[in-house]
Amino acid sequence: MKKLELVREAKLFRLIPGRTRTSRLEASGIALIDDSTALVAFDNLNQIARIDVSLKRSRRNGIWHTPSLGAGFEDIATDVTRRSTFGLIESVEDCDGALRGFVAEYDREGRLRRCVRLPGKFRKANKGFEGLAHVRHNGREHLYALREANLLARGRSRGHIDVYIRAVNGTWKESHSIRLPAEARFKDYSALAYRHHQVAIVSQESARLWVGRLDPDGRTLIPRSGAVYRFPGKHYCNIEGIDWLSADTLIAVSDRRQKDQPVKCDRTDQSVHVFRIPTGT
């Protein structure tokens, strides 16, 4: 198994104005809004941060409040065409008592445009959708939502990407589901990224990254197109969000170290990382 190459990394508190070493920045997702800027979501804050992908301090860096149904987001995605932002709410008790995932959508000024449910019900509140990507196919908007086997449905094993298509009224309707291959069946799932039919999936607990390719229609994974990579060291304990910077480079964020985790995890928690996929793959 090949190892990802670390390009650069930085603690989030050093990049976000007004934050200090003691700030709780439980990063849960990251998504590019343009070639030089990324948005970071947190699962403990209804706020989204903006950082320069150089991981240097910049006057463009900042953070703003984002009203939502939940207390923070599980992941974040962007539509670079309209400069819209989507915050994934893992699961919330709906009006009928069922647990469902929701997506909050914000305009280019960070104002809430709508918050809508995603079809399907969950069994457990803490095991809903884990990752989100926004994709355009043939002019239509799609959301790719990563989940484990927690939906109240028959015949589905763990590890799926549920695909939704934008309806005329702005909501999302079911399109199809993509089953992950055996090599991508990790202990858990924490993030999803999509770029030019290339998919990346991260497991926090397994500390692994899987990369594969979708067919041109975005409906199925191309057989034997995937590969699994490990992170540069065992101190990468809490990778929670990823996005593509280029065809061979990913930007990622890490959550806060848990009390039951080794002290070595402090080294990279609440941070932003840039990794390169090794050549010769």
Write the pLDDT tens digit of every residue in 229-279. Answer: 999 999 999 999 999 999 999 999 999 999 999 999 999 999 999 999 998
Specify the pTM.
0.93
CB 101 within 8 A of CB 118: yes
Please give the Cα distance from 241 to 170 (Å, whole number): 26
Write the pLDDT tens digit of every residue in 69-78. Answer: 877 899 999 9
Domain 2-276 has CATH 1.20.1260: no
Q: What is the pLDDT of residue 157?
A: 42
The number of angstroms, rounded, from the C-alpha of 275 to the middle of its chain's C-alpha atoms is 16
- For the chain, what is the mean pLDDT? 91
pLDDT class of 125 with cuts at 50, 70, 90: low
Q: What is the pLDDT of residue 199?
A: 96
Write the pLDDT tens digit of every residue in 90-122. Answer: 888 888 888 888 999 999 888 999 999 998 888
pLDDT at 178 over 70: yes
Report the side by side order of strands in the sheet with 75-79: 75-79, 84-93, 99-106, 112-117
Among residues 156, 168, 87, the alpha carbon closest in space to that of 121 is found at 156
Mean pLDDT of 16-23: 95
pLDDT at 156 over 80: no
